Amino acid sequence: MKPRGYAHLSSGQLDATFTALADPTRRAILARLASGEASVNELAAPFDMSQPAISKHLRVLERAGLISRGRDAQRRPRRLEPRPLAGASQWLEGYRQFWESRFLHLDALLDEMKPTGTKRGFRKRQH
């Protein structure tokens, strides 16, 4: 865990991040931008959607801070901003660790519930 990594993230920021990620088109746009910046036309190309529809998705992503616009005034290429995504995944990691600590108890309990012979066999199988 790196608590400092998400300490600065507000709940509003996470709402915006998760809401932006809830849509498959927006996730596809982010996946495309992960391999490098792209113009609105380039981003619209793989989708059967009008450019205004794509622009709407881009605005949601931009408001969530997940993408930004490049300097080139002509193309206005969009690029990925990795920080909010990292924040969202760190929160999930915290949730995961909370449950994993409980499930380790459950592992031990299940092992105990098995017939004695099986329990020994299980230990031996661990390499």
Partner 1 sequence: MTTAKLKVAAHGDREIVMSRVFNAPRHLVWDAFTRPELVKRWLLGPDGWSMPVCEIDLRVGGSYRYVWRHTDGTEMGMGGVYREIEIPERVVATEKFDEAWYPGEAVGTLLLVEQAGRTTVTQTMVYDSPQTRDAVLKSPMETGVAASYDRLEALVRSPAA
- Segment interacting with partner 1, rule: CB under 8 A, options 10-18, 42-50, 54-62, 75-83: 10-18
Can you tell me which of 53, 70, 72, 107 binds partner 1, judged by CB under 8 A? 107
For the bound state, the minimum distance from the C-beta of residue 78 to partner 1, rounded and expressed in Å, comes to 22
For the bound state, the minimum distance from the C-beta of residue 8 to partner 1, rounded and expressed in Å, comes to 14
| Residues touching partner 1, count (CB under 8 A) | 35
Can you tell me which of 31, 63, 68, 100 binds partner 1, judged by CB under 8 A? 100
Taking CA atoms, 39 is separated from 20, 71, 87, in Å, by 19, 12, 26
Asked whether position 63 contacts partner 1 by CB under 8 A, the answer is no
Can you tell me which of 15, 45, 50, 59 binds partner 1, judged by CB under 8 A? 15
For 16-23, which contacts have Cβ atoms below 8 Å and span 24 or more sequence positions?
16/63, 16/64, 16/65, 16/84, 17/64, 17/65, 17/66, 17/84, 17/85, 17/87, 17/88, 18/88, 19/60, 19/64, 20/60, 20/61, 20/63, 20/64, 20/66, 21/66, 21/88, 23/57, 23/60
Q: Which residues bind partner 1 (CB under 8 A)?
A: 1, 3, 11, 14-15, 18-19, 21-22, 88, 91-103, 105-111, 113-114, 122, 125-126
